[in-house]
Structure 1
Amino acid sequence: MVAEKNIIFFDGVCGFCDKTVNLLLKLDDRQALYFSPIQGEAAKEILPPERRENVDTISYYNGDRLFYRTDALLEVGKTLGGIWWLFYPLKVIPAEWRDVAYDWFAKRRYRFFGKMDSCRMPTPEERARFLD
């Protein structure tokens, strides 16, 4: 069931997002994370419409709550555990402050990393980790 999974919603045509998903697949030894493009069907089921329209923002659903921007990144780190959990105390910094740098980068990510013609196709080994 989709609603019980830890899901990262990413921009399916963003070069940086694709590289990030590839990295997370390698780091997630426990296979706790699942992935769905914001443009996909799982996003329609879980994300509110305004979040599906804003592809500049990563969203993370932990089976209970939705997180956006740096809150999403910190929650993903917490889910990964290990050294990535060490970043979680940054939550004490107000999200409005943390998100300034996030927003700056998000607006320029296509310029830095390019835009793909279509959403990534997972390999057969990755397929179980992608919802659409």
Structure 2
Amino acid sequence: IKTSEAYTKTAIAMFDGIISCWYQKFKSNLVRPISYIQENIDVSWTPVIQTPPFPEYTSGHSVISAAAATVLDTLIGHNYVFEDNTSELFGMQKRKFNSFDDAAWEVSLSRFYAGIHYYEGIEQGNKQGKFIGNYILRKL
């Protein structure tokens, strides 16, 4: 039962997080860093990864990662230490995390460092995801 509860609540939190995020994206309609930088600072600037073709605020990766982490932190444990080795195939090292929340924040920061989000977009996306995750935990 605990495994199916974790899968179910995590999936619902992520699903609701995406709905909430995309509502906010098109309500705010904030331009991406590439648009602002190329128009006002450096016409030749490009981000590290391809910029998605939809508004910046809030970060979808931040929202769904924080929503999932909030549910998993509650159901499995706040200090659940784990390793992610999924990138070893591509020559990268294993990543060790002290909690699901730490992993979610690293996901958020990756979008900022890649140049496709402003810090505010990832920070608020993380808060939005935590809110959604806690909401799901209270309601289900």
If the length of structure 1 is used for normalisation, what is the TM-score? Answer: 0.28
| Larger proportion of strand | 1
Q: Which has the larger radius of gyration?
A: 2
More helix by share: 2
**TM-score (norm. length: structure 2):** 0.27
